[in-house]
Amino acid sequence: MLKNISFKHLVIKFKHLGFTGPYAGGKHLFMEKKSLKIHIPNLHKSDISKSLIAEILRQAGISKDDWNNA
């Protein structure tokens, strides 16, 4: 089950999954793992919604189980 998460914890989880970054690029930040690049929301005060997290995970091919175990 996904839940809303802070920007800091989003970055930490992606780092546990083997991604590097975040890096600046255009309008949004991104993180990389080999040839895979995922765009993440810019740092803001409120938590990142679970629906946006689900969309990022879908685009990255990361299962919810892998995300929850990271």
- Which pLDDT does position 28 carry in this prediction? 86
Q: State pLDDT tens for residues 1-21.
A: 899 999 999 999 999 999 999
* CA distance to 9, 55, 67, per residue, from 60 (Å): 17, 9, 11
Neighbours of 53 (CB within 10 A): 22
Cα 20 from Cα 2, distance rounded (Å): 22
Predicted confidence (pLDDT) at residue 25 exceeds the cutoff of 90: no
The structural domains of the chain, ordered by start, are 7-69 (3.30.920.30)
- Which pLDDT does position 44 carry in this prediction? 76
User: Are 33 and 17 within 8 A, CB to CB?
Assistant: yes
